[in-house]
């Protein structure tokens, strides 16, 4: 059934396949009379785009965003906003080698099992190219909510075995975009770049982790039972291609902690109290408490590698999937704007739900 | 706005406060003509109930489930099924000490910030007592889907620093319910019990972790973009009180893995191929592939401790929150049936979505 | 699938069968901190209740409303509000005569075709008894919105061939509740009462029509495309048992009108313009314009009559359905509070959607 | 908030403004592996298009449908299908005369009241041009469900005072498309054409009515309480621009009928019983019973007329709205494919809900 829509009041529906005519998004429920700067949306797309640096795939996507509806004289009208990128160069390559193959850890088999008929070109709908639609939508929300004092920033805190051990509060996040792995620790960034290059040489891929911080959110956003703020952030993040885990605040460390350590004492403050520590990650009972929200997302290594692998085809016969073509050894840095976009979409939705 | 409903086609709406008249659930979309054994629902509730063992709070909840609608002559009718527990003994205790206090790491402050007026008795709506409604609903789904060969089993794999290091495939899960901490490793279970007792003596609380395994699911369940099977499992799990993190398959370990390690090669098999390894955790591209699904959930230590803590009241004044009354040093074992119930609800929903 | 919920932000889910344990409603999304007077809800239920007058069925329903959740110390908490009526006297009557029969123009056959298993006692879920849950929910909304200057009033404008020919603006609506047919024209009311009594004597039933007027709504409520204000009012009204038609403003008369007649010229007024005429029925482009909203609903004669009728049973065999037991010759007067309740629910939902 | 989506499992979201870049639709939930003939979609659009005959506006819309996603190698993939028409000739006309004016019975004022900022060119989002997106979506559903034996046909049964008095069962519906007013009674059609021409000469507009018949639907479609089949058909129909009323089966005539007349006796038949009469309009208790479904929709005269009218502007000042430009004296014939499309969308949605 329908599953391409995200959000409750701020709804986005993405459409399009990797090598189809267009990839785009309809955003419904966006407030009217908000001035929109399209160059900022284009900038966000450019951050996600492959081919930005020597460590990513060299596919050249032009990814020029176009407005199909909902923005008039530079401002939103409250009507559905449609943003799309057209695949002008979708030349008909030869896909016969993957047409009937189930590549390991790709979605080929499961799409086949569920739908029978699928667009196999470049991963079709399961391609990460779908996420450009999310990034465009997120950049729209950012233009609406950033002026209210909210900021969202993500960074890479791990690639392979190289991990940032410091909490985000000890880092200078303004350094994040200064290097191609988007890690705010410059020396670790160099190690990560080296690792990715080595991995690429080996025709292999490597996983990683992203930390995201939401600042400036007032207390009271989120719903108490099922639609808890962190539950929606979790769903949003886990829906990103290759994401395998999500935690927030104390996260997985909470399992080994004691209440006497973990409880965040309230400290008098106006207009709302703050907390002395922030193991809660800015959310209590599913609702924001005014402190920073921070969460992590782990990503698996991408499935496309330059090695031959055993697999099966549509008929169930054993085959060898050849390692050939382009590959992207580590998509985690490019996932940074996607994580941010999903966070903006969640916050935008709860902003409307709270009114 | 409304946020007390979970599910898309199989929808549950829970209602009720800890010390109100009733806690219950309306399940809409449940198929008709399914025979229901109420004693199995009662059994599930009893697994969640406090006061089951020396290590939990001694609150005596009778938790007798009653059917208000939707089941006729022992079978479902396709109409909304309402299950409720009435709080017969909700005597009017004195709550003046917490009426205006914001207890550290409870939802007192955030509910106040969001709603103004709240039922403060025993945590009101934010109490884990709400989860009995989920457990009842999950037990209903189990009776419908277990006959189709699906099983869901969760266990405690960590309490405090004591953790099961084995993968679930090396454990005898039938031992899970043999001890009061619901850990299938008997010797670790004894250590966990000891730890919880020590923690209780100190008036402290401790966190933990649960692993859950879904077996027997056919390939093809889940939706490819936003409503990925693992994204919904993540949201469902994260919506449980005190849950701080969720991962599935390789999870957080994926961040340090390579594609050559992580890719799950397909192996010819009828009717559907299997995979040699299962780092994917039974889900690829958001859709089940027929292998076991397994995921983990981390839980923070409960906020109620027997220590005095600094905090603030409604007016912003500093106060001391006294450590007194009953407390439950570790709720993780009792969360096992809740995790299972949420997994049943997700699977039941996708089962219907797949038709 | 699930279909027992109405509303987008103000959601009600009704449950229960005519002769089951309980009939009730969960209202989710209702604002917090609203004072609720339960006697007003009880009054609304009493208006809908059968057995109020000589012209209705003599079934004695006590219909005592009970609050199961969401109201604390006389005020709403923002949590789901559950209201229920318990069927204390649901004695096990003999239903063997209707168990397998498909009564003409009842829902017996269609429920059987769709669900297989159904609660046949007193119509089960298809009984108009379900509407008491709607009336309770509507009465809740009225207490929240009436203080904002909104009023909703319905009346019977036709029973059988006796119809009010005047527009509502020429009637004294305060007379509506002065007679048992709820017609504000006292002399037509007497004729209607006579007609219903004659109809009852003949063991027959008769249809009718209701007009409903919403006053005091500000401009700007409604959504422009699919969820037009009148489209939602239409769905809400048509979902009431026995309703066969809905129109608003000029309605079915519009078909024979000309633009020069029908266009409502705007008249300068502060803060918002008014219109000289109101053929638009207070809604333009799906959005309220600040003028009165008025609509009509037609109702068929109830299917239960005291005549023998040809029909078939579950196995497809011809049978005679006997005319026996109690019957209600005209439910239209009792539908007045149901129409009002559905209108309150629609307005309440759009009120929240507009914020 | 978001309101541009219709449907529960088969969801369509329309986007675009009359003179914007594009008008289109995203259809989510459409089944996979269905062969699609785009020329049939184009044919449906051409039926709705203005400028088809001497009695409509002469605006030349090329309305060439394009597929942006979801159809691969001529078949659906289960992914969102995006269909769009690009407004290649949206030249920048001078709209200064309507920019700040509230035209009588248009949506200018209500959009302004609700959104502040609006695209005023040609009615923007409130233009009937939005309905081409619905027609395209409906034509898609028709290609999926017509092979299952379902047909939907609408015709004009009234324009102004000229009305078809016969029930649809006495008409030869194959004559509907033989004349430009889409009335299956050839002699009444001529009178209607004459009336529309006279109306056009006078610079006036005229209303009308459409009857729609759904044949071949099996018993069991629809939901029993709020989402009754006729309630959804009602909402769908009422959401069409200019629609003022909806009834089905006996409709508004039911108000003056008796149960002994109105009850539809069941007649033994295999596999499911039929009814002797069909005042129920093929729906009982909100669920289809296998008989023909028929309903009516009334339409007001369009608001654009060639007469000067009094009105107010944005600032509340009195103005004269000039009667100038093109006008369409009667849109009812062009609404026929829109009514059919909305019916297909409702049926398609319930088809999926029933599985």
| The three-state (H, E, C) secondary structure of chain D, written as one string | CCCCEECCCCEEEEEECCCCCEEEEEEECCCCCCECCHHHHHHHHHHHCCCCCCCCCCCCCCCCEEEEECEECCEECCCCEEEEEECCCCCCCCCHHHHCEECCCCCHHHHHHHHCCCCCHHHHHHCHHHHHHHHHHHHHHHHHHHHHCCEEEEEEEEECCEECCCCHHHCCHHHHHHCCCCCCCHHHHHHHHHHHHHHHHCCCCECEEEEEEEECCCCCCCCCCCCCHHHHHHHHHHCCCCEEEEEECCHHHHHHCEHHHHCCCEECCCCCCEECCCCCCCEECCEECCCCEEEEEEECCCCCCCCCEEEEECCCCEEEECCCCCCCCCCHHHHHHHHHHHHHHHHHHHHHHCC
> Which has more confidence, D122 or B267?
B267
Predicted local confidence at residue A60, as pLDDT: 58
Residue with tokens 């000042």: D317
| Domains of chain C from N-terminus onward | 5-354 (3.60.150.10)
Question: Minimal Cα distance from D10: which residue of B?
Answer: B353
For A3-25, what is each residue's pLDDT tens digit?
A: 899 999 999 999 999 999 999 99
For C177-205, what is each residue's pLDDT tens digit?
A: 999 999 999 999 999 999 999 999 999 99
| Cβ–Cβ contact D224 with B under 8 A | yes
Residue D143: closest CA among D42, D16, D52 = D42
Residue C341's φ and ψ, nearest 5 degrees, are -60, -45
* Chain B residues closer than 8 Å to D9 by CB: 9
Predicted local confidence at residue B143, as pLDDT: 98
> What mean pLDDT is predicted for residues A344-351?
98
Predicted local confidence at residue A350, as pLDDT: 97
Alpha-carbon separation of residue A238 from A205, A342, C48 (angstroms): 20, 10, 49
Mean pLDDT for chain D overall: 94
B20/C116 Cβ within 8 A: no
Over 80: is that where the pLDDT of A90 sits?
Answer: no
Predicted local confidence at residue A122, as pLDDT: 86
Helices (H) and strands (E) in chain A — how many of each? Answer: 8, 19
Over 70: is that where the pLDDT of C4 sits?
Answer: yes
* Chain A residues closer than 8 Å to B263 by CB: 104-105, 303, 305, 309
| Cβ–Cβ contact C354 with B under 8 A | no
| Cβ–Cβ contact D137 with C under 8 A | no
B114/A303 Cβ within 8 A: no
Over 70: is that where the pLDDT of D325 sits?
Answer: yes
* Chain D residues closer than 8 Å to B224 by CB: 79
> What mean pLDDT is predicted for residues D130-156?
98
Beta-strand relationship, B81-86 and B65-69: antiparallel
* Chain A residues closer than 8 Å to B279 by CB: 105, 300
Predicted local confidence at residue D94, as pLDDT: 74
Residues of chain B with pLDDT below 50 are none
Over 60: is that where the pLDDT of D58 sits?
Answer: no
Q: What band does A279 get if pLDDT is binned at 50, 70 and 90? A: very high
Strand locations in chain B (E)? 5-6, 11-16, 22-28, 65-69, 71-72, 75-76, 81-86, 101-102, 151-159, 162-163, 208-215, 243-248, 266-267, 274-275, 283-284, 287-288, 293-299, 309-313, 318-321
Over 90: is that where the pLDDT of C61 sits?
Answer: no
Task: Tell me the two tokens of residue D96.
Answer: 């200064």
* C244, D234 Cβ separation under 8 angstroms: no
> What mean pLDDT is predicted for residues D341-353?
97
Predicted local confidence at residue D266, as pLDDT: 97
| Cβ–Cβ contact A28 with D under 8 A | yes
Touching D: A residues 83-112, CB under 8 Å: 84
| Cβ–Cβ contact B116 with A under 8 A | no
Touching C: D residues 63-82, CB under 8 Å: none
* A311, B266 Cβ separation under 8 angstroms: yes
Nearest to D355 among B79, B224, B355 (CB): B355
Q: Chains with ≥3 Cβ pairs under 8 A against D?
A: A, B, C
A355/C224 Cβ within 8 A: no
| Cβ–Cβ contact A223 with B under 8 A | yes
* Chain C residues closer than 8 Å to D299 by CB: 254-255
| Cβ–Cβ contact C5 with D under 8 A | yes
* Chain D residues closer than 8 Å to C204 by CB: 258-260
> What mean pLDDT is predicted for residues A32-52?
91
Task: Tell me the two tokens of residue B343.
Answer: 């997994």
Buried/exposed D4-28: b ≥16 CB within 10 Å, e otherwise = bbbbbbbbbbbbbbbbbbbbbbbbb
Over 70: is that where the pLDDT of C91 sits?
Answer: no
Selected for mutation to probe chain B from D1, D7, D9 (highest B CB count within 10 Å) is: D9
| Cβ–Cβ contact A224 with C under 8 A | yes
* Chain A residues closer than 8 Å to D11 by CB: 2, 5
Predicted local confidence at residue A91, as pLDDT: 62
Asked if the peptide bond before residue C46 counts as cis, ω within 30 degrees of 0, the response is no
Q: How far apart are CA D251 and CA D248, in angstroms?
A: 5
| Cβ–Cβ contact D16 with A under 8 A | yes
> What mean pLDDT is predicted for residues A41-61?
76
> What mean pLDDT is predicted for residues D29-45?
96
Residue B256: closest CA among A212, A279, A245 = A245
Predicted local confidence at residue D197, as pLDDT: 96
B127: closest CA of chain A, how far (Å): 9
Mean pLDDT for chain C overall: 94
> Which has more confidence, C56 or C154?
C154
ipTM of the modeled complex: 0.96
Give every CB contact of residue C17 below 8 A, 6+ residues apart in sequence.
Answer: B69, B70, B72, B77, B79, C23, C119, C121, C122, C124, C125, C127, C129
* Chain C residues closer than 8 Å to A79 by CB: 224
Q: What band does A96 get if pLDDT is binned at 50, 70 and 90? A: confident
Cβ-Cβ pairs closer than 8 A, A with C, add up to: 4
By residue count, chain B amounts to 355
* Chain A residues closer than 8 Å to B299 by CB: 254-255
Nearest to B268 among A161, A251, A317 (CB): A317
For A123-178, what is each residue's pLDDT tens digit?
A: 899 999 999 999 999 999 999 999 999 999 999 999 999 999 999 999 999 999 99
Over 90: is that where the pLDDT of D61 sits?
Answer: no
Q: How far apart are CA C188 and CA C199, in angstroms?
A: 16
Predicted local confidence at residue C95, as pLDDT: 79
B73: closest CA of chain A, how far (Å): 32
Predicted local confidence at residue B2, as pLDDT: 79
Predicted local confidence at residue C325, as pLDDT: 78
Q: B47: how many CB neighbours lie within 10 A of its CB?
A: 18
Over 70: is that where the pLDDT of C354 sits?
Answer: yes
């Amino acid at each position: 059934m329908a599953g391409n829509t995200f959000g409750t009041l701020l709804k986005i529906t993405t459409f399009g396949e990797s090598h189809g005519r267009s990839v785009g998004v309809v955003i419904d429920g966006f407030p009217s009379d908000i001035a929109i700067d399209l160059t900022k949306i284009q900038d966000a797309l450019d951050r996600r785009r492959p081919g930005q640096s020597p460590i990513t795939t060299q596919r050249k996507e032009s990814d020029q965003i176009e407005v199909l509806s909902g923005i008039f004289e530079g401002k939103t009208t409250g009507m559905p906003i449609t943003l799309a990128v057209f695949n002008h160069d979708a030349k008909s390559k030869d896909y016969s080698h993957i047409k009937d193959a189930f590549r390991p850890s790709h979605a080929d088999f499961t799409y086949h099992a569920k739908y029978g008929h699928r667009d196999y070109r470049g991963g079709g709908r399961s391609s990460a190219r779908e996420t450009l639609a999310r990034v465009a939508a997120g950049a729209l929300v950012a233009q609406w909510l950033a002026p209210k004092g909210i900021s969202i920033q993500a960074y890479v805190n791990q690639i392979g075995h190289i991990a940032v051990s410091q909490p985000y509060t000890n880092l200078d996040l303004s350094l994040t975009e200064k290097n191609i792995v988007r890690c705010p620790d410059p020396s670790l960034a160099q190690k990560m770049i080296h690792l990715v290059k080595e991995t690429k040489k080996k025709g292999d891929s490597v996983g990683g982790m992203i930390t995201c911080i939401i600042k400036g959110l007032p207390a009271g956003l989120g719903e108490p039972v099922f639609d808890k703020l962190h539950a929606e952030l979790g769903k949003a993040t886990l829906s990103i291609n290759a994401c395998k885990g999500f935690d927030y605040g104390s996260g997985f460390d909470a399992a080994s902690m004691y209440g006497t350590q973990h409880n965040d004492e309230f400290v008098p403050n106006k207009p709302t109290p703050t907390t002395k520590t922030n193991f809660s990650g800015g959310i209590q009972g599913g609702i924001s408490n005014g402190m920073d929200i921070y969460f992590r997302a782990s990503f698996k290594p991408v499935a496309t590698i330059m090695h031959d692998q055993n697999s099966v085809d549509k008929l169930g016969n054993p085959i060898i999937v050849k390692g050939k073509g382009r590959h992207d050894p580590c998509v985690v840095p490019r996932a940074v704007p996607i994580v941010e976009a999903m966070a903006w979409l969640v916050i935008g939705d709860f902003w409307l739900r709270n009114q």
